[in-house]
Each structure stands twice: as C-alpha cells, then as structure tokens.
C-alpha cells in the first residue's frame, strides 16, 4: 500500500519535472510574441479617464482569460482530430492583424482631424452614453486582438511540446496561457498607473527632493511611453501577421531568401494589410451605394 502511494508520488514528480522543462522551452519560444502582445495591449489599454483605466484593463483581462479558456481546449482538440484547421485559423488571424496594423498607419497619416474642429470637440463634453460606447468599443477591439495573439501564443506553445504526451501538453499550454495573461496585463497595469504613482510621490514629498523629481519624471514619461507603445504596437501587429504568413505558407517562406527575416515579415504584413484594407474599404463603399440606390 505504502509502496504504491510513493510510486504515485514519483510519477507526479516526474510529470512536474517534464512540465517545468516543457514550460520553460515554450515560454522561451513565445517570448517574442509576448513582447508584441505587451506592446499592442498597452497601447489599447490607454487613453481612458484615470478612474476608468483599471476597470477597463480588468475587463480586457477577463476577456483575455475567456479567450484562452476557449482557445486552449479547442487547439488541443484540433491538434488531435483536425490539425489543418489550426493553420487556417492562424492565417485568418494574421489577415486581421495585418488589416488592423495598416489601418492604424493610414489613419495616422491621412485621417488627421481637420483644423478648426479642436475647439468644438473640447468645448462640447461627451455624454456618459457616448463615453460608455467608446469604452465598450475599445474593450471589444482589445479583446478581439488579444484573441488573435492568444491563438499564436497557444499554437507556438503547443508546437514546442508536440512530441510530449497529452497530459504534458495540456498542463504546459495551460500554464503558458495563464502566465501570458497575468504577465502581460500586470505590466500593462503598471504602465497605465505611472502618472498616478508620480502624483502621489509629488504630494507625499511636498514637491521637494528626490521623490518629487521621480514623481515628475513618471508623470512626464507616461505620454512618451504611450506614444512609443502605440508605434511599437502597430509595428508589432504587422510583424506578427507577416510572421504568421511566412511560417505557414511554404511559397512565402522560400520567397526572397536573401532578405532579413524581420524586413521580409514586415513587408509581407504591410502588403497583405494594405490589400485587405482596400478590399474592405471598397466593399463598404459599394455596399453603401447599393443601399442608397
């Protein structure tokens, strides 16, 4: 009886060793996409009123956890019964990320607010319903993007343990998914609360000494960091999408072998995103004309 109990403990210990090693490998392989995930979600979680930042971030985090709760078992099942569906899903996700990244670039360069509208926008405060709708829209967009990035994270993690038994696969992918959510959104929470931490340091130090200077630095640094993350997040969307196409389409993988991988992935993501944007914009205009007629 006792020997059977200790044998079970030995099996659990071996399993945990296997999981720990597999998780380390999977985390290392997903490090790049986690960095992109951080940049993208930090940019999407900013731009709200100070008192709404944490509630909005918590809503996005819950959406991210729900995404992974759907993706992890689905990826494991598809890997067993219908592995080709994983590649198809990845390509669709890459198309969406490319479109979103290029759309942001086009909006930045060509859709600036017209001069003369600034005073009107500032002098007319938005209603609570409008603010709520905008907030819900941003949360929905963030959760949708997280869904695509979560697929990429889960698939990469699964690919790193594809030769392991099913138990190790399930535990490893689940652990990576949880760590990704906690790690990414934990860091995002720290970033978006930098200015509040700075104000508190200024107040507690009576605006004197080292802590006062640190507080001012945090306050001034936040807008700069947000702008940087916005730019990095946009580039990350295009890079991730290009990487999905390059790694899952053999022809594209062999195309332009002399080019550095990053330039190739960015260029491909940019081209695909531009085509998707033109198709979607054109379709919307045609649908609008048909509807008017």
pLDDT tens column, 118-147: 433 444 555 556 667 777 887 888 888 888
Question: What's the CA gap between 261 and 292, in Å, rounded?
Answer: 46
pLDDT, residue 122, reads: 42
Averaged pLDDT for residues 57-72? 88
Buried b (16+ CB within 10 A) or exposed e, 72-99: beebbebbeeeeeebeebbbebbbbbbb
Residue 47 region by backbone torsions, left for phi larger than 0, else alpha for psi between -120 and 50, else beta: left
**Burial group, residue 131, by CB count within 10 angstroms (0-12, 13-18, 19+):** middle
Check pLDDT > 50 for residue 6.
Answer: no
Contacts with 34 (C-beta within 8 Å, 6 or more apart), sequence order: 153, 180, 183, 184
Q: Which residue has the tokens 């001069």?
A: 115
Tokens of 126: 């938005």
The band of 17, judged by pLDDT with boundaries at 50, 70 and 90, is low
Q: Is pLDDT at 13 greater than 60 in this prediction? A: no
> What is the predicted pLDDT for the residue at 275?
94
Digit-coded pLDDT (tens) for 155-196: 877 776 766 777 878 888 888 888 888 888 888 888 777 878
Looking at per-residue pLDDT, the higher value among 250 and 127 belongs to 250
Mean pLDDT of 75-90: 81
Cβ distance 33 to 183 under 8 Å?
no
The predicted pLDDT at position 2 comes to 47
* Residue bearing tokens 């640094």: 221
Q: How far is CA 103 from the centre of its chain?
A: 16
pTM of the full predicted structure? 0.65
Percent of the chain with pLDDT over 90: 5
**Residue tagged 């009576």 (tokens):** 206
Residues in the chain: 293
Residues 6+ apart with CB under 8 A from 54: 189, 192, 193
pLDDT value of residue 115: 47
H-helix segments, the chain? 2-29, 31-44, 50-81, 84-110, 118-123, 128-160, 166-192, 194-204, 209-248, 250-254, 261-292
In tens, the pLDDT along 189-222 reads 887 778 788 888 888 888 888 888 888 888 888 7
Query: Mean pLDDT across the stretch 46-69?
Result: 80
């Amino acid at each position: 009886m006792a020997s059977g109990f200790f044998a079970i403990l030995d099996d659990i210990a071996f399993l945990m060793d296997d999981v720990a090693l597999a998780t380390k490998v999977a985390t290392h392989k997903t490090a790049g996409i986690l960095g992109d995930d951080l940049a993208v979600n930090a940019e999407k979680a900013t731009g709200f009123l100070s008192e709404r930042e944490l509630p909005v971030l918590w809503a996005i985090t819950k959406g991210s956890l729900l995404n992974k709760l759907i993706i992890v078992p689905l990826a494991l099942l598809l890997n067993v019964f219908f592995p080709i569906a994983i590649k198809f899903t990845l390509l669709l996700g890459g198309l969406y990320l490319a479109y979103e990244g290029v759309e942001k670039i086009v909006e930045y360069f060509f859709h600036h607010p017209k001069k003369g509208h600034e005073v009107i926008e500032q002098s007319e405060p938005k209603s609570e319903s409008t603010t709520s709708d905008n907030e819900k829209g941003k949360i929905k967009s963030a959760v949708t993007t997280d869904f695509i990035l979560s697929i990429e994270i889960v698939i990469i993690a699964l690919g790193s343990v594809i030769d392991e038994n099913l138990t190790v696969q399930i535990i490893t992918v689940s652990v990576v998914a949880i760590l990704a959510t906690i790690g990414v959104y934990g860091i995002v929470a720290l970033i978006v609360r930098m200015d509040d931490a700075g104000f508190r340091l200024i107040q507690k130090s009576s605006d004197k000494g080292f802590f006062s200077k640190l507080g001012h630095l945090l306050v001034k640094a936040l807008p700069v960091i947000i702008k940087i993350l916005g730019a990095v997040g946009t580039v990350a969307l295009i890079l991730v999408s290009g990487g999905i196409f390059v790694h899952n389409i053999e022809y594209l993988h062999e195309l332009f072998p002399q080019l550095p991988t990053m330039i190739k992935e960015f260029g491909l993501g940019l081209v695909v995103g531009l085509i998707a944007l033109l198709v979607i914009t054109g379709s919307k205009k045609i649908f609008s004309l048909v509807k008017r007629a």
